[in-house]
Amino acid sequence: MATIISLDPRVTRLSIDEGVNERDVLIPTLDQHPTFEVFHQEKSGSHHVHVGTLHAPNPELALILAKEQFGRRGQTHNIWVVKTEDVFTLTSEDSDIFDTVPEKTYRDVSAYMVRNKVEAFKKAQKEGAE
């Protein structure tokens, strides 16, 4: 079976069969390619950030399209593509599950009145020096 030979080496690397019709890989009910969510990592060790969505017939081509669309501007260390249907999230109606989390203001910097104590200490030092 022959594969598509293209001037673009990325297309040739995919080893797409020459006899495959593009319409065969489309979602029949939607008449479009599946969507993929794209996550971009700027530097090694940094977090991946969601940067957009794209349509592609398969994950390999989605990765190439994501690189062309989201990886050519600025610095890029890594890109992930995930089928949108594989992403599982909570709906806004389910947000009440976070209401059961107890208040933990002690974890917040604002919960500590250190600044007031520091200001009082500085004032006492200034008054003691005079």
pTM of the model: 0.54
pLDDT value at residue 128: 78
Chosen CATH of 9-129 out of 3.20.20.70, 3.10.20.520, 1.10.1660.10, 3.30.465.10: 3.10.20.520
Each domain of the chain, given as residue ranges in start order, spans 9-129
Residue 48 has which token pair? 């991946």
pLDDT value at residue 58: 92
pLDDT surpassing 70 at residue 11: no
What number is the average pLDDT over the span 22-46? 77
Q: In the predicted model, what is the mean pLDDT of the chain?
A: 80
d(CA 77, CA 42): 5
User: 38, 52 in Cβ contact below 8 A?
Assistant: yes
Residue 92 has which token pair? 């806004």
pLDDT surpassing 70 at residue 79: yes
Per-residue DSSP letter, 51: E
Per-residue DSSP letter, 27: B
| Per-residue exposure over 4-17, b if at least 16 CB sit within 10 Å of its own CB, e if not | eeeeeeeeeebebe
d(CA 66, CA 62): 6
pLDDT surpassing 90 at residue 2: no
User: Edge-to-edge, what's the strand order for the sheet holding 49-55?
Assistant: 49-55, 35-41, 78-83
d(CA 69, CA 114): 47
| Per-residue exposure over 58-97, b if at least 16 CB sit within 10 Å of its own CB, e if not | eeebbbbbbbeebbeeeeeeebebeeeeeeeeeeeeeeee
